[in-house]
Amino acid sequence: MVPSTPKSDLSSSYDVIVIGAGFAGLTVARDLAFKGKKVLIIEARDRIGGRCWTAHTGKDSKVEIGGTWVHWQQPHVFSELQRYGLDDFEETMAFPENCESTAKESRSQPAIVSDPAEGRVMMEQLEGLMLKFFDVDGQGGRSIIPFPFSTASSVKQNPDYLELDKLSVSDRVAQLEGCTQEQQSMLSTHAASFYGIAPEKASFTEVLHTHALCNFDPAMIETATMKYKLAKGTTAFALAILEDYKGDRIFNSPVTSITQGDGDFPVTVTLRNGEQYLSKTVISTVPINVISSIVFDPPLSALRTEALSTGVTPARADKLLVCTSTELKNGFNVSCEGGDMPYASGFTDGSHGDHTLLTLLVHPDNSLDRSDENIRLVESLRPAGIQVETAYGHLWSDDPYAGGVMPVRGPGFLQKYNDEIRKPHGNVYFCGSDFADGWRGFISGAFEDAYRVTREILRQN
């Protein structure tokens, strides 16, 4: 729990009010305060970090409940880590060579050990199919997204980007010649698996964009997105930024409405408890998934409302962390797709004290933190069993201040919605990882967009 500024020290009006104390909110507040602005942060939770959260589970042990992995190929986060001397990492070995692999498609079926040779053949086949999937230009997609950190620059250099964005993952797979029905099904599922949503709901260019961020190198995707964790944790990182911030803060206070009018302080922010604060400018870092929980007066445009409600789909949201005393010396991973299992997949994720830590990626809306049955189901993920000692989870899909994790853009989003969602609504700016051009949905994207909005506000004021 982080303390609020004492009420007696709060002002009734500010230059800037920042809604949300995730990485974007903390950064934009820090940087505007550095520039002499009078800033107030308002956070709905009693903690900072947003969709990142380090839970301390013992004297020397912790687990990352939310966003976890970083990499120096994510430039903004790495720069900030070096700024605070936190660029010390722990490694996740999700798929080590010769690791034990199983598959369990349903609750009633037993786990089946995967043949390593068959697995290698399948992965080689998938790699070949993915190369065909990306190769829309004879250059592996390189000419389509030449600037993965600038959508506008990429579109300017190659307008085909917008045309290809109209395709879903399923649409692109259907274009490939010489693929069997089985290969098409396998490719559709695999291409959308990074986000964990149906292939028809994800834009083809959303997947190509991640490929571009990883320098069009398939081997880099795992390394850049699920290998390196912060040794001191994401919460320690957020606290370092908060310590640098010179301004006021209010925690445990959800915002219910933002009203714009006239005068020197034209924006009124109303909290759930009825308190109101005035500001010249408001920055909302509320995730796209839950912006609709705030009442705007005047209301948001019809196009922006449509973009937030139907233009995106929340990625697979939930994560269960299990500590096991079972010896898994060669590593372990499991696939659970295709049936009624609550989990999609799982893998070894380092150690937790004397035990091994398993990370399970979970389909939304499963009561992991309240269902002993779902947690005990972990024990059946390998034929020889898994001894569950402790489990930690958080239902991000059921979190009223998150609504899941990153929103995945659907077909046609760029041309129809992208400019609309990034522009200000009067004196209200929208900021956060969800709006980033580069590593959308990652901590680095939060920093990138905080820098953008900071520039825009300083230009206007």
Q: What is the 3-state secondary structure (H, E, C) of 391-422?
A: EEEECHHHCCCCCCCCEEECCCHHHHHHHHHH
Q: Which CATH architecture has domain 118-226?
A: Alpha-Beta Complex (3.90)
pLDDT of residue 394: 86
Q: What is the dihedral of CA 46, 292, 425, 421, to 10 degrees?
A: 100
CATH classification for the domain delimited by 53-73+85-95+317-398, as one of 3.10.180.10, 3.90.660.10, 1.20.1260.10, 3.90.1170.50: 3.90.660.10
CB 231 within 8 A of CB 69: no
Going by the annotation, the residues of the binding site for FAD are 43-44, 255
Strand pairing partners for 313?
408
For the chain of 461 residues, list the mean pLDDT of each consecutive stretch of 10: 92 97 98 98 97 88 93 97 96 84 91 80 85 95 97 97 97 93 88 87 96 94 93 97 97 98 97 98 97 97 95 84 91 87 89 90 71 84 93 88 92 96 97 97 97 96 73
Instruction: Classify residue 342 as exposed, middle or buried by CB count within 10 Å of its CB (0-12, 13-18, 19+).
Output: buried
- For 167-202, letters b (16+ CB in 10 Å) and e give bbbbbbbeeeeebeeebbebbbbbbbbbbbbebebb
pLDDT of residue 325: 93
CB 311 within 8 A of CB 300: no
Enter the DSSP assignment of 300.
Answer: P
Going by the annotation, the residues of the binding site are 43-44, 255
Q: Which CATH architecture has domain 13-51+232-314+402-460?
A: 3-Layer(bba) Sandwich (3.50)
Q: Tell me the domain boundaries of the chain.
A: 13-51+232-314+402-460, 53-73+85-95+317-398, 118-226
pLDDT of residue 307: 96
pLDDT of residue 28: 98
In this chain, the answer to whether the domains covering 13-51+232-314+402-460 and 53-73+85-95+317-398 adopt an identical fold is: no
pTM (two decimals): 0.95
- For 247-271, letters b (16+ CB in 10 Å) and e give bbbbbbbbbeebeeeeeebbbbbbb
- For 58-85, letters b (16+ CB in 10 Å) and e give eeebbbbbbbbbbbebbebbbebbeeee
